[in-house]
Structure 1
Amino acid sequence: MILRLVILSLLFIPDLASGQATNDVDPSLSHDRNALAPVRVDGSILFYVRGVSSFPAETRAKTIAQRIQRAAANYTKPPDSVKVIEDAGRLKVYVGNEFIMNIYSADAEAEGITTPILAEIVVEKIKGIIKLYRHERSPDVIKSNALKALVALALLVICLVAFSWLFRKLSDFFKRRLKNRIDTLENVSYKLIQANQLTKILHVLYQTVRVLILLIITVGFVDYILGLFPWTKAASIYLLELILDPLKSIGQGFINYLPSLIFLIIIYLITQYFVRLTRLFFNSIDTGGIVIQNFDPEWAMPTFKIVKFFMIVFAVVVAFPLYPRLQQRSLSRHIRIPWRIVLPRLIVLHF
């Protein structure tokens, strides 16, 4: 138990009001040239803009998005009314006579293109989002998507019920098939592999897979249903990012973490093997199966504890150099373990 604790310890170590102003601050005049924020409409990113300290990029992006939404909601203005006007050396984007945004050289630099090309791209993006905005809110599309949502919801319930039934059947099947094999494996390994521990590990793995599959199905259907309606599409995109971004970080962290993890597992398994082998040896001495001249059988178990202690210390000494790399590579790098306090207590717990 103390060996597991030691190895596991190594492992875990202000919004501006959207008005009709025709000017916003030129970000090229600011030293904060790298501050970028996405302009989102219904959760979709159209383009990125820069900001300044007095008018942050996030606030500027939100203001532009609100203006685009307001123009899209005004059905008297066709999408083709989006245009660029040059005024005092600046490019201004309008929908009809309604001002949307200024395009600065700093915005173009962020995209690695010239200002006129960026202006053309922005115009096409705004035209496209206005068309999409109105299409998704048309009565026919809403009715069609509502029907799709009901069908998807029914399928979700059916899938959850079906998979729950299937997992129960699989659980009973594996219990019947694996029990005898696990008991046989325990006997063949001379109890180096314990049946109850292996059963618990397999049960945890099974439950983890079960929960993950049900969670993936649920999230997939919920994301699809939310994405059908313009009012919830942003929530759908946010939900997907909320799940995928940590998964990407976990995947990258796990890949970086894997070599050290494999090495720790090897250390753990080797140490566990020798500890159990040593226990069998001293148990045989204690029961009289092995007789050593001038060695009292009553000394067997105390001697085993001393030998086990030094085995664990040796394993910790071998694994300890991995600790800084684990803290740097793993997702638990923000968790700092007070080794001077924890390690002595773990050793004391052993006795």
Structure 2
Amino acid sequence: MSIKSLFTFLCLLSLQCVLYAQETKIDLKGYPVIAHQDTLFHVKNRLGSLSASERAERTSEKVTRLAEDLLFVADSVKIVDDSLVTDLVYKGNILISLSKADADSVRMDKSVLAKTYQQIIVKNVKEYKSETDVVVLLKRAGLGLLILLVLGAAIFYLNKYSNRFRAWISVKLQKRIGNIKIKDYELINKRSELLLIGRLLNLLKFLLIFLLIYITLPLVFRLFPWTKPWGDSLINFVLNPLKNIFSAMINFIPNLITIVIIFFVFHYIKKAIKFLAEEIETEKLKINGFYSDWAKPTYNIVRIVLNAFMLVVIWPFIPGSNSEIFKGVSVFLGLLISFGSSSAISNGVAGMVITYMRPFKIGDVVKIGDTTGAVLEKSLLVTRLKTIKNEIITIPNSAILNGNTVNYTSLSVNEGLIIHTTLTLGYDIPWQTIHSLLINAALATDGVIKEKQPFVLQTSLDDWYVSYQLNAYVDKPEIMALIYSELHKNIHEAFNEAGVEIMSPHYQAIRDGNASTLPNQTS
């Protein structure tokens, strides 16, 4: 047997079980005998060729027709007993035949059951005939007309005095109310406020009129047997939802208690973890290999995980969580979040990785891509830098993770940050002079660490000039641009005072091969 065939067989078997269960449930309760909108009794068993439903339907029709007999006499409904069945008969017409199985199904003697059914049928017919009596109907029609007149008068006076009350309340509130403001913003002015109050009073008036009509109509409809079901329906339109809501609230109380207990358990677990995170962040509690700046982001991650787990635990106890609509909305929201937030998720993951990589801290001066500035904010999705031009640059964390980050602050305090600048000068200037001038210019610059000697590197020997790189130690990377500016100024002044021209010479010369550009060596 293939998997498809097996699956089809199981589905048919399940459907058969459901149908059998429903049929069993109906059979146990029986089929109702209904006359004049009232359920008299139930028929549960077959009799001869007639099924239980056919017997109930036939009996309902016969009992209903009894009320059409203008000369109906209650004593004419008689019980006729024989060896097999007991019949309820009216003028030779069998209303229902009762067997021993019928009596056993309700645990009564057959004659007692017949007597009970006889009383029920007679009572139903008498009540219907009394309700449809001409005199009774005229009295009820008069009563209904009186109820409608009272309703009309109530609506008339409600409308009249509501208008007067609205005018009176407007005059009283004219001097007492003021403009509604939120800080400096005027949300509602005085005129709009009075207009809003007037419309609310109008709405209340129409709600009261609707309520009066809705209460009156069932009273009128229930006066007559033909319209009585309409009145019951109008009442049930209100009572059934209220009953269902109240019943659902009562049934939800155990689940609500469970949800509250689960909520408080997770709440205090999160409070305990938050306390540990604060202790680690303030370095009152130290854990080897766990840095203090990890405490807060770790707590945030744990809190999100705990909240998600709490929602999973609470979910089965939420009313309607098993409904198809609830499941469909949940799937839709899940797909919406998955497809619509892929970049946000990648930035969030990158933010967590950056947190535990610790490439920089708040306040560090860093260079990310082409942007240099102080770290102003680190969040799960983005990092913000403040440049020396007072610009706030927002950089997605995924871009930081995929690129290179230069941190100028991490070693500047203890070892010092080396700043460097390059000059190109001709071969005719002695390198000792250039070294001396550059080092003195660096030592004269504010922000350069004097205890650590600046040094010069000759980085290249080009065709017409030499490249000299000045290196100096600083410990304040946040003012690095100012240090560079002053350093360049000092180099300029030092070379001017020494009579050395800052120039990269380019030669075009015809030589005989004997002259040289080497500087004269002094003994």
1:104 CA displacement: 3.4
Residues 327, 334 of structure 1: 8 Å contact kept? no
CA distance 1:344–1:152, change in 2 (3 Å): same
Distance 2:159 2:32 in 1: 41
Deviations 1:118-162 (A, max 9, x none): 211111111112222221222111111111111222334445566
3-state SS of 2:34 partner: strand
- Counterpart of 1:38? 32
Distance 1:258 1:145 in 2: 46
- Counterpart of 1:336? 326
Distance 1:244 1:117 in 2: 37
CA distance 1:95–1:254, change in 2 (3 Å): same
1:62 CA displacement: 3.5
Matches within 5 A, 1:21-60: 33-50=27-44, 57=52, 59-60=54-55
CA distance 1:239–1:37, change in 2 (3 Å): farther
Residues 223, 236 of structure 1: 8 Å contact kept? yes
> Is 1:254 matched with 2:249?
yes
Deviations 1:91-142 (A, max 9, x none): 1111222221122344445544333222111111111122222212221111
Higher relative contact order (CA 8 A, sep 6+): 1
Distance 1:322 1:239 in 2: 38
- Counterpart of 2:317? 325
- Counterpart of 1:68? 63
Deviations 1:23-53 (A, max 9, x none): xxxxxxx997414233222222222222559
Amino acid in the other structure paired with 1:335: I
Distance 2:256 2:210 in 1: 27
Matches within 5 A, 1:286-305: none
1:79 CA displacement: 1.3
> Is 1:134 matched with 2:129?
yes
Matches within 5 A, 1:20-169: 33-50=27-44, 57=52, 59-159=54-154
Amino acid in the other structure paired with 2:109: T
3-state SS of 1:221 partner: helix
Q: Could you tell me the TM-score, scaled by structure 2's length? A: 0.40
Distance 2:327 2:204 in 1: 30
> Is 1:231 matched with 2:226?
yes
Distance 1:211 1:254 in 2: 30
CA distance 1:90–1:334, change in 2 (3 Å): farther
Distance 2:205 2:51 in 1: 45
Residues 77, 95 of structure 1: 8 Å contact kept? no
3-state SS of 2:58 partner: helix
- Counterpart of 1:222? 217
Matches within 5 A, 1:300-315: 315=307
1:89 CA displacement: 1.7
CA distance 1:57–1:336, change in 2 (3 Å): farther
1:164 CA displacement: 7.2
CA distance 1:105–1:334, change in 2 (3 Å): farther
- Counterpart of 2:506? none
Distance 1:61 1:70 in 2: 14
- Counterpart of 2:336? 345
- Counterpart of 1:21? none
Distance 1:320 1:140 in 2: 67
Residues 260, 322 of structure 1: 8 Å contact kept? no
CA distance 1:33–1:207, change in 2 (3 Å): farther
Greater mean alpha carbon deviation, residues 62-71 or residues 213-222: 213-222
| Number of residues of Structure 1 aligned to a counterpart in Structure 2 | 261
Instruction: Please tell me the root mean square deviation across aligned C-alpha atoms, in Å.
Output: 5.1
CA distance 1:323–1:81, change in 2 (3 Å): same
Amino acid in the other structure paired with 1:152: I
Amino acid in the other structure paired with 2:115: E
- Counterpart of 2:21? none
CA distance 1:117–1:220, change in 2 (3 Å): farther
Residues 32, 52 of structure 1: 8 Å contact kept? no
Residues 252, 319 of structure 2: 8 Å contact kept? no
Deviations 1:198-230 (A, max 9, x none): xxxxxxxx9999998766644432222222112
Residues 41, 65 of structure 1: 8 Å contact kept? yes
Distance 1:239 1:56 in 2: 35
Distance 2:158 2:39 in 1: 36
Structure with the largest fraction of strand? 2
CA distance 1:229–1:312, change in 2 (3 Å): farther
Deviations 1:229-282 (A, max 9, x none): 122224434554555444433321122224656858x97xxx9xxxxxxxxxxx
- Counterpart of 1:302? none
CA distance 1:241–1:129, change in 2 (3 Å): same
3-state SS of 1:100 partner: strand
3-state SS of 2:96 partner: strand
CA distance 1:167–1:249, change in 2 (3 Å): farther
Unmatched segments (≥5 aa) in structure 1: 1-29, 188-194, 196-205, 272-306
